[in-house]
């Protein structure tokens, strides 16, 4: 009686594990999933998700001064003026990961205070 119970329990665990493994393999090979992943990648390429470092947020004159000062201090980095009514922002770089942005943030903090890393995207 005890041996029957052990054999039935073992077979139940074996069939359940086999069914779970089979269903997981089936979903990763689905063409629908591959199609969704490729659409997501093309969307990200087009709209450019990532991070920027924001140096300033305020009026236009100060924003232009900050940008000019940044371009003198760090000529190898690109800067951008962004207008979101009613404020102007000075943003620097285009980083794929927050870690990359944080590395440059430390470098820029030597000359500019109060700067932050901001995510991009919709």
pLDDT at 104 over 80: yes
| Token pair for 67 | 């940008």
CATH architecture of residue range(s) 48-119: 2-Layer Sandwich (3.30)
All structural domains of the chain with their residue ranges: 2-46, 48-119
Task: Specify the pLDDT at position 115.
Answer: 94
Distance CA 106, CA 109 (A): 5
Write the CA distances from 60 to 19, 51, 56, 57, 76, integer angstroms: 63, 22, 10, 9, 23
Q: What share of the chain is helix, strand, coil (3-state, %, to 5)?
A: 55, 20, 20
DSSP state of 61: H
**Contact criterion met (CB below 8 Å) for 32 and 92:** no
Average pLDDT, the chain: 83
pLDDT in tens, 27-53: 556 788 888 888 877 776 666 678 999
Percent share of the chain, pLDDT over 90: 46
């Amino acid at each position: 009686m005890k041996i029957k119970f052990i054999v039935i329990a073992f077979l139940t665990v074996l069939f359940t594990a086999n069914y779970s493994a089979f269903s997981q393999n089936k979903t990763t090979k689905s063409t629908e999933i591959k199609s969704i992943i490729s659409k997501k990648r093309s969307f990200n390429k087009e709209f450019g998700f990532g991070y920027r470092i924001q140096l300033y947020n305020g009026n236009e004159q100060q924003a232009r001064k900050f940008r000019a000062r940044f371009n003198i201090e760090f000529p190898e980095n690109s800067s951008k003026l962004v207008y979101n009514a009613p404020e102007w922002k000075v943003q620097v770089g285009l980083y794929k990961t927050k870690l990359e942005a944080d590395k440059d943030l430390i470098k820029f903090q030597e000359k500019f205070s109060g700067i932050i890393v901001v995510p991009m995207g919709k």
